[in-house]
Chains A and B, each alone.
Chain A
Amino acid sequence: MRYLPLSNQDRESMLNTIGIETIDDLFDELPKSEVPQKLPSHKSELQVDRELSQIANENLPYSRVPSFLGAGNYCHFIPASLDYIVQRGEFLTSYTPYQPEISQGTLQVIFEFQTQVALITGMEIANASMYDGATACAEAISMASRINKRSKVLISGGVHPHYIDVSKTQLKHLGFDIEVLEPNIFGKEEILDKLDTDLSCLVVQNPSFFGDLQDYTAVANECRDKGVLLIIVVTEPVSLGLIKTPGEMGADIVVGEGQSLAGPSNFGGPGLGFFASLQKYVRQMPGRLCGQTFDKEGKRGFVLTMSTREQHIRREKATSNICTNSGLIALAFSVHLTLLGENGFNRLANINHKNAVELSMRLKKNNKINVINSSFFNEFVIELPRPAIDIIDELVNLNILSGIPVSRFYPNSPNLSNFMLVAVTEINTESDLDLFANALNEVL
């Protein structure tokens, strides 16, 4: 067994040292009887590779066909050097940097990550990451309530339904009163009238789940007047290469999903929750924070800091129960932003946007297709003459992963069945757009 370095001779001699006869003697205190039954035996590396490759081959990866999938998880090109860096054993196989003297690599990466997240969101500070965008959203609502001691929450119908569901689950027993607005598919939500002085926070998403772009500056001003904290969710951070930052609009907390910059879809996990806010709220922030300090010689170094908010010290009084962050995905996200740099990030966003606009224009030529959004980044909604789910199925038969049926997320809204979410990124080619548009012409 290739992962076990003890030889039988080693085991003998160690058992001797301990003064027992067999390894089983070490387990004398366990209750006798049942052990797991009928499990397959160990396998060679070659065999595992074969079996898992065979299972993987039963999937149709988006890398092989034209694909337009988004809804909070986006398919972007990942530079080769990113995966090399992520697979460096010193990053991959280290743990939480509890011993800062021998963890400066990880710590400096986190510090740079925190800075990058703050920069692209236009916020003052960011934490070391959360599980994913959806759990970060729930944590943000919780944090808002710790800040203004209110418990009423208003969530826009443009927020990703998974973020709404996760927030509802996670906050279920904490005394929140959560109102969620109707799915905002036409981008016509009236939020200003709904802001009250007893509201803790308002959660909106930009671009919205349906792809709409909106300037939340006026909403932010109204929120500030009423003591309501504005949480802006970003599920496609590539958009921040092009559009006004949530910070510039006046957000108090910005959370989102970093997968889009960090790596491939991986069937949706593991993701990366990013979490940014204003400096004055730092003590209420959940998750890990890395801070700058000095060593005994006065050299700059980094440490995990303000851990007095955390569960290992505060136990039931902690700001959150989260212990693990998403270190390796945060590294990938950070490396990608470093590779792109200011110019590359802007250019990537530009290409995404222009490619999406181009597809929307081609689809508009078919009068059976209605493009809903007036402005969008790299994702938009189309209305079809019949259920999207059927059309998507027909297009799979033509080897196109065309889009996502909006109805998948709203089982209780049958009126949404003809809508399809379509995302376009830099991985799409001229021929992808043609194939998609032509295939739709064919099936409609």
Chain B
Amino acid sequence: MRKNFLHEEPLVFEYPFSDKSAVDFNSPLGDSENIGDLKRTTPLGLSSLSEPEVVRHYTRLSRLNYSIDTGLYPLGSCTMKHNPRLNEKMVRLDGFMNIHPFQPEKTIQGAYKAINLLSDWLIDLTGLPVVAMSPAAGAHGELCGLMCIRAAHEHNGESKRKVVLVPESAHGTNPASAAICGYSVESIPCNNRGRVDLQALNNRLGDDVAAVMITNPNTCGLFETEALQISDAVHNAGAYFYMDGANFNAIVGRLTLKQLGVDAMHINLHKTFSTPHGGGGPGAGPTVLSDALAPFAPVPFLIKKNKKLCMVEHAGLKDSKLSIGRMKGFHGQFGVFIRALSYIMSLGGDGLSQVSGDAVLNANYLRVKLSKYITPFYDGICMHEVLFDGSFLDGSGIKTIDFAKAMIDSGFHPPTMYFPLVVEGALLFEPTETESKQSLDELIEVVTELAKMVRKEELTEYFDQSPINAPRLRLDETHAARNPILRWNPDPLLKAAE
């Protein structure tokens, strides 16, 4: 007998097989076939359910998820902010949703206008002259920026530059993207203030360095106060300055990147500009480029000809001589663009600087309130996220992951754990600006209570076992990795019986 309000939902394949379908069709317009000898003769093994069964299946599954709509989601570096429903409504307008990427240009001037409007906003907000719209996500934007950098070096006869410098606190995608661009990667240490060690950077810079990738604010939640010196040093060494824009939410509307000497930066529309994360995508990573890199931007891009917008789709043409080529099918993440545009128009320039203001205010409020109980990595003003280390757990036998899992039992999604790698047992909280003071106070109360329990040192078991109130207890991830079962298979006994 089931003893839980939430249902245990089988896989769709575990419902009985029949000839049912949840979709009824009109008759075909003709009867002839022209498929050669390619017709499939065996069934695929898909499920067979009616519409009510399908709707219930997914609705039940949805209830097993934590989401922003249900609670504060303080995952550091992920910017889990409220996703306005207006954005969803706008992307579903007939004139945006039901247009095909290869319609004649005169039938899609509105789409071009919308893309152009968003580009203009991104250009104005960053102060850089050009934005490559097509990258599909942050890491894809990194690759775009680095490829433009590589193309620029090659164009300038600087092909010998083959090293990218990345701080040890960087997102793992930075070195991975550099490697895909054919570069070797070297780490730059941080100083004891959690910032890039300028001296170490200066020592390493030289004529073999192609680019330096810096996240700012960095993954410790701190502004790189020596950003100007860093960009000067990078440029003096003949390299380009890539800024990882994952944390743009902290500074949007408060400074331009031009003044920081940035040559390329991707903007995660699914972070700063509130397009939904959707359980892990889709995102979009438009990448702004400096004058030096602009000629190398990937296709497609829009240009204005005789007051009309048109799209340059191929590299090597008059307007795209130096382009690195195409990075993505069709014209980029259009549906994500519309959502971001709807959000940006809603907030406006004044709203966006209030966004960064409130995001940083919320993070600092958490920092001050929680610092009495758990140990902040850095004792001073942070940006939009606040980093704690695991030292408050020392001697208790409780690990960071146990502490995080215990938060689940009190109704909260845990913060990012064990990242950045430079901090032992890291807990990185990013509340975002869309949390009220009341919801922050609830989180503070939960974390405070748990931290007090750690100090009492009598409740290790509580942490070991948590979560106990979630749809699942802790899952055996080692088993999953060692014996990979990556799909449903028909029960071999049943199959034999057939």
Per-residue CB proximity of A272-296 to B under 8 Å, as 1/0? 1000000000100000111111111
CB distance from B311 to the nearest CB of A (A): 10
Asked if residues A166 and B326 are in contact (CB atoms below 8 Å), the reply is yes
Per-residue CB proximity of B2-41 to A under 8 Å, as 1/0? 0000001101110001011111011111111111111110
Distance in angstroms between the alpha carbons of A93 and B324 in the assembled complex:
34
Distance in angstroms between the alpha carbons of A18 and B470 in the assembled complex:
34
A141 interfacial by beta-carbon distance below 8 Å: no
Q: Which residues of B contact A292 (CB under 8 A)?
A: 480, 485-486
Residues 337-355 of B at the A interface (beta carbon under 8 Å): 338, 341-342, 345-355
Query: With A14-B365, A303-B480 in contact, is A350–B28 under 8 Å at CB?
Result: yes
Residue ID in chain A nearest B93 by CB atoms: A56
Among listed A150-158, A170-178, A190-198, A223-231, interface-contacting one: A170-178
CB distance from B224 to the nearest CB of A (A): 9
B221 interfacial by beta-carbon distance below 8 Å: no
Asked if residues B487 and A109 are in contact (CB atoms below 8 Å), the reply is no
Distance in angstroms between the alpha carbons of A51 and B377 in the assembled complex:
46
**Which of A17, A42, A91, A313 sits near B346, CB closer than 8 Å?**
A42
Distance in angstroms between the alpha carbons of A120 and B4 in the assembled complex:
35
Asked if residues A165 and B99 are in contact (CB atoms below 8 Å), the reply is no
Q: Which residues of A contact B29 (CB under 8 A)?
A: 354-355, 358-359, 428-430, 433
Residue ID in chain A nearest B268 by CB atoms: A324
Interface residues of B, dominant DSSP: loop
Asked if residues B23 and A339 are in contact (CB atoms below 8 Å), the reply is yes
Q: Which residues of B contact A240 (CB under 8 A)?
A: 40, 44
Asked if residues A87 and B21 are in contact (CB atoms below 8 Å), the reply is no
Residue ID in chain A nearest B178 by CB atoms: A316
Asked if residues B486 and A125 are in contact (CB atoms below 8 Å), the reply is yes
Q: Which residues of A contact B437 (CB under 8 A)?
A: 5-7, 10, 13-14
CB distance from B422 to the nearest CB of A (A): 13
Q: Which residues of B contact A43 (CB under 8 A)?
A: 345-346, 348
Among listed B49-57, B197-205, B388-396, B455-463, interface-contacting one: B49-57
Q: Which residues of A contact B251 (CB under 8 A)?
A: 27, 30
Residue ID in chain B nearest A373 by CB atoms: B34
A147 interfacial by beta-carbon distance below 8 Å: no
Most buried by A among B29, B62, B358: B29
A188 interfacial by beta-carbon distance below 8 Å: no
Residue ID in chain A nearest B285 by CB atoms: A324
Among listed B64-72, B235-243, B445-453, interface-contacting one: B64-72
Residue ID in chain B nearest A126 by CB atoms: B487
Asked if residues A266 and B334 are in contact (CB atoms below 8 Å), the reply is yes
B426 interfacial by beta-carbon distance below 8 Å: no
A314 interfacial by beta-carbon distance below 8 Å: yes
Q: Which residues of B contact A358 (CB under 8 A)?
A: 28-30, 32
Q: Which residues of B contact A408 (CB under 8 A)?
A: 102, 313
A253 interfacial by beta-carbon distance below 8 Å: no
**Which of A55, A93, A270 sits near B136, CB closer than 8 Å?**
A270
Most buried by B among A248, A325, A338, A361: A338
A384 interfacial by beta-carbon distance below 8 Å: no
Distance in angstroms between the alpha carbons of A266 and B88 in the assembled complex:
13
Asked if residues B325 and A215 are in contact (CB atoms below 8 Å), the reply is no
Distance in angstroms between the alpha carbons of A427 and B102 in the assembled complex:
18
CB distance from B261 to the nearest CB of A (A): 10
Asked if residues B360 and A52 are in contact (CB atoms below 8 Å), the reply is no
Asked if residues A92 and B136 are in contact (CB atoms below 8 Å), the reply is no
Per-residue CB proximity of B168-183 to A under 8 Å, as 1/0? 0001110111111111
Distance in angstroms between the alpha carbons of A305 and B19 in the assembled complex:
34
Q: Which residues of B contact A120 (CB under 8 A)?
A: 44, 46
Distance in angstroms between the alpha carbons of A95 and B176 in the assembled complex:
22
Distance in angstroms between the alpha carbons of A189 and B467 in the assembled complex:
59
Asked if residues A404 and B475 are in contact (CB atoms below 8 Å), the reply is no
**Which of A13, A59, A297, A396 sits near B96, CB closer than 8 Å?**
A59
Q: Which residues of B contact A357 (CB under 8 A)?
A: 30, 32-34
Query: With A30-B254, A114-B486, A268-B101 in contact, is A85–B59 under 8 Å at CB?
Result: yes
Asked if residues B99 and A59 are in contact (CB atoms below 8 Å), the reply is yes
Asked if residues B102 and A42 are in contact (CB atoms below 8 Å), the reply is no
Distance in angstroms between the alpha carbons of A186 and B485 in the assembled complex:
42
Q: Which residues of A contact B26 (CB under 8 A)?
A: 351, 426
Distance in angstroms between the alpha carbons of A401 and B405 in the assembled complex:
54
Per-residue CB proximity of A112-127 to B under 8 Å, as 1/0? 1011101110101110
CB distance from A123 to the nearest CB of B (A): 10
CB distance from A365 to the nearest CB of B (A): 13
B410 interfacial by beta-carbon distance below 8 Å: no
Asked if residues A101 and B474 are in contact (CB atoms below 8 Å), the reply is yes
Q: Which residues of A contact B38 (CB under 8 A)?
A: 213-215, 243-244, 375
Q: Which residues of A contact B375 (CB under 8 A)?
A: none
Residues 291-318 of A at the B interface (beta carbon under 8 Å): 291-297, 299, 301-303, 305-308, 310-318
Q: Which residues of B contact A55 (CB under 8 A)?
A: 95, 110, 113-114, 117
Query: With A92-B83, A119-B46, A428-B29 in contact, is A174–B180 under 8 Å at CB?
Result: yes
Q: Which residues of B contact A129 (CB under 8 A)?
A: 281
**Which of A102, A124, A270 sits near B413, CB closer than 8 Å?**
A102
**Which of A3, A71, A101 sits near B408, CB closer than 8 Å?**
A101
Residue ID in chain A nearest B324 by CB atoms: A169
Q: Which residues of A contact B361 (CB under 8 A)?
A: 6, 11, 14-15, 18, 23, 26
- Could you pull out 10 A-B pairs where Cβ atoms are within 8 angstroms? A1-B351, A14-B365, A55-B113, A73-B101, A119-B46, A267-B334, A293-B479, A317-B179, A357-B32, A377-B35
Rank and list the top 7 A-B pairs by shortest CB-CB distance, nearest first: A39-B349, A268-B330, A173-B182, A328-B278, A358-B30, A56-B95, A89-B69
18 extra A-B contacts, CB within 8 A, seeds A10-B436, A60-B107, A265-B97: A3-B82, A3-B347, A4-B351, A4-B355, A36-B127, A36-B253, A63-B94, A81-B54, A103-B65, A103-B66, A126-B487, A240-B40, A269-B334, A312-B419, A316-B178, A327-B277, A353-B33, A433-B29
